[in-house]
Structure 1
Amino acid sequence: MRVTQSMMANSLLQHISDGYSKLADYQNQLSTGKKITKPSDDPVVATMGIAYRTDVSHVEQYQKNVTTAQKWMDSADSALSDVNDVLQRVRELTVEASNGTYTSDQRAAAQAEVNQLTQQLVTIGNTQVGGQYIFSGSDSANPLLTSTSGTVTANTTALSNPDVSLDVNDGIKMSINVPPDAVFTANGSNGLFDDLASLQTTLTTGSSSDISAYLSKIDTHLDAVSSAQADLGAKENRMTMISNRLSDMKTTATKVMSDNEDADYAETIVNLNQQQNVYNASLSVGARVIQQSLVDYLK
């Protein structure tokens, strides 16, 4: 086959163009830090990248749920500590008021303080995190307790739906709240607020022995608070382990995604320099291959 000057020139220009395209690709990799800038650059890398990004997003959503759970648990733990302090103070007042030497005025003062402490328990029971009532079970949009003319009532919807659960990992759903009936039970003969209301009445009308009889009831409520704190502590410990596991999973998934998509700077710089040398050589060879024309002689 006869090779013409035109064929040689066209072939040379095609190779120069291909080399220049590769040069542009390496420059894009260095400027963007990515192996590809569009799926057509490498469909396999692009497809795998979508899967790896899904994995990372998956883990990040679980991490957001865990963060929400930890906020609820930390707030609940602090609130339960406050409840314990309030009940300890109620117990102190009950012990003091059960003393036979206490006058009616002193017992009235104790009753007034117990009343204020009861209202403080209502405030604690309606603790909010991010606009949600953390002791109202799944009815977190509404407060658990309502105090009207000294009578405390509970949200019946909250009592009927006491659990709040979140997905914190694949196949793992955890309850993140303290059930409303674990500590703040307003209904029933053994309810916390029923006992406090009865105690207030007894402080003004009962005898010393009647008042001291409430110590065992207060101790029962203190035990309930301790039990709720222990259960919450166990949940917090497990949530911490889940959080650490998710952090490890995200690190691994991010590394795999980076290995798939990110350009190796050192390797890319070497490839760019090599391609630059090839491109310069192709231009030099082209100057020799393309023959001079008559116009060149006339210059």
Structure 2
Amino acid sequence: MRVTQSMLSSNMLRNLNTSYSKMSKYQNMLDSGSKISRPSDDPVVAVKGMGYRIDLDKNQQYQRNLREANTWLDTTDESLDQVGAALKRVKELIIQAATDTTTTDDRQKINAEMKQIKEQLRDIANTKVGENYIFSGTHTNQPLYTDSTGPQNPAITPAGGQKTIDINVFDGISMNVNTPGADLFNDIDGFMTNINTLLQSGAPAAEIGDTLGLQTTSGGTTIPGLDGIYESTLTVRADVGARQNRVELMENRLGIQEVNVTKQLSVNEDTDYAKTITDMVTQDSIHQAALSVGAKIIQQTLVDFIR
């Protein structure tokens, strides 16, 4: 087979172009810090990278969900703390009203404060996070009470008012962020209404004590109805606290997962600079050798061919 000058030239140009392409690839890897610049460079790396990025996107969404959950739970816990403080004050006022030394006028003053506490408790029942009412179950656009002095909102159905709002916090894992408070605040409001009615009637100390079942022992003064409501409030608050702890655990878990997935993504796609620089220097040496040999083989002029 006769090897012509054009065949030598074509082969040389083709090989030089291949060499330039390889050097360009290594240069791009060093510039971008990534093994690939397009999926066709390495389909396996590209597909794995897409999977890792999907995992990171989901992780970030779960973290946003947990921040929202924290906002709801922190607000709920703070509101229940205010309820507990208000109930303690109610107990102090009842004990004071049931004392024989308290005059009728004093009881009316106590009743006036009781009315304000009742309104305050209704305001707490209508606590919002953003535009959402946190104690109204799934009726987040409806306040639990229509106004500070009005009745419980009839638009809140028993079914919806007791439902929880769940959000995803991990793959296949969800948790409720709200605390349906219709029953709790209805009990509180009913008790406060009875107290207001009793004090408004001008009942004497003995009648107040008997009606409310007030008992004084060595362990302190007990008011069964009020103490039961206070215990219910503590139970609800304990549940909120447990969910806050779980949110913290999930945040730690998501943080660990984010680090692991980011590391896997880096191993999958990031350039190994030491290896890439070595490969590029090697390819440059090969390229320079090819240029040198090609310059000797390829005859540049007719005179060189004749000689």
* TM-score relative to the length of structure 1: 0.89
2-side partners of 1:266 and 1:130: how far apart? Answer: 52
- The 8 Å contact of residues 183 and 224 in structure 1, kept in 2 or not, is answered as yes
The answer to whether residue 207 in structure 2 is matched with residue 210 in structure 1 is: yes
2-side partners of 1:211 and 1:31: how far apart? Answer: 84
What one-letter code is carried by the residue in structure 2 that aligns with 1:196?
M
- The 8 Å contact of residues 167 and 174 in structure 1, kept in 2 or not, is answered as yes
The answer to whether residue 253 in structure 2 is matched with residue 253 in structure 1 is: no
**Structure 1 residues 200, 57: closer, same or farther in 2, change over 3 A?**
same
Unaligned runs of 5+ in 1: 186-190
- The 8 Å contact of residues 136 and 142 in structure 1, kept in 2 or not, is answered as yes
Partner of 1:69: 69
Give, in angstroms, the shift of residue 21 of structure 1.
0.8
**Structure 1 residues 242, 155: closer, same or farther in 2, change over 3 A?**
farther
- The 8 Å contact of residues 137 and 158 in structure 1, kept in 2 or not, is answered as no
Partner of 1:188: none
1:152-171 equivalence runs, <5 A: 152-154=151-153, 157=156, 159-161=158-160, 162=162, 163-171=164-172
What one-letter code is carried by the residue in structure 1 that aligns with 2:152?
T
Partner of 1:48: 48
2-side partners of 1:165 and 1:142: how far apart? Answer: 18
Partner of 1:108: 108
What one-letter code is carried by the residue in structure 1 that aligns with 2:171?
D
Partner of 2:217: none
* Local SS of the residue matching 1:153: coil
Give, in angstroms, the shift of residue 289 of structure 1.
2.1
Partner of 1:59: 59
1-side partners of 2:79 and 2:108: how far apart? Answer: 28
2-side partners of 1:73 and 1:103: how far apart? Answer: 43
- The 8 Å contact of residues 159 and 180 in structure 1, kept in 2 or not, is answered as no
Q: Name which of structure 1's ranges 72-81 and 285-294 shifts more when overlaid on structure 2.
A: 285-294
1-side partners of 2:252 and 2:287: how far apart? Answer: 51
2-side partners of 1:151 and 1:197: how far apart? Answer: 12
**Structure 1 residues 195, 13: closer, same or farther in 2, change over 3 A?**
same
Give, in angstroms, the shift of residue 99 of structure 1.
1.1
**Structure 1 residues 100, 253: closer, same or farther in 2, change over 3 A?**
same
Q: Name which of structure 1's ranges 262-271 and 135-144 shifts more when overlaid on structure 2.
A: 262-271
**Structure 1 residues 292, 118: closer, same or farther in 2, change over 3 A?**
same
Give, in angstroms, the shift of residue 243 of structure 1.
2.0
- The 8 Å contact of residues 166 and 174 in structure 2, kept in 1 or not, is answered as yes
1-side partners of 2:125 and 2:89: how far apart? Answer: 17
Equivalent residue in structure 1 for 2:271, among 263, 267, 272: 263
Percent identity over paired residues: 39
For residues 214-243 of structure 1, the C-alpha deviation after alignment (integer angstroms, 9 at most, x for no partner) is 432221111111101111111222222222
For residues 180-205 of structure 1, the C-alpha deviation after alignment (integer angstroms, 9 at most, x for no partner) is 235322xxxxx210110111121232
Cα root mean square deviation, aligned: 2.1
Partner of 2:78: 78
**Structure 1 residues 225, 169: closer, same or farther in 2, change over 3 A?**
same
For residues 61-93 of structure 1, the C-alpha deviation after alignment (integer angstroms, 9 at most, x for no partner) is 222222221211111111111111111111111
Unaligned runs of 5+ in 2: 213-222
2-side partners of 1:137 and 1:246: how far apart? Answer: 28
Partner of 2:235: 227
2-side partners of 1:203 and 1:100: how far apart? Answer: 14
* Local SS of the residue matching 1:184: helix
Size of the aligned set, in residue pairs, is: 291
- The 8 Å contact of residues 144 and 158 in structure 1, kept in 2 or not, is answered as no
Equivalent residue in structure 2 for 1:276, among 263, 274, 284: 284
The answer to whether residue 21 in structure 2 is matched with residue 26 in structure 1 is: no
The answer to whether residue 198 in structure 2 is matched with residue 180 in structure 1 is: no
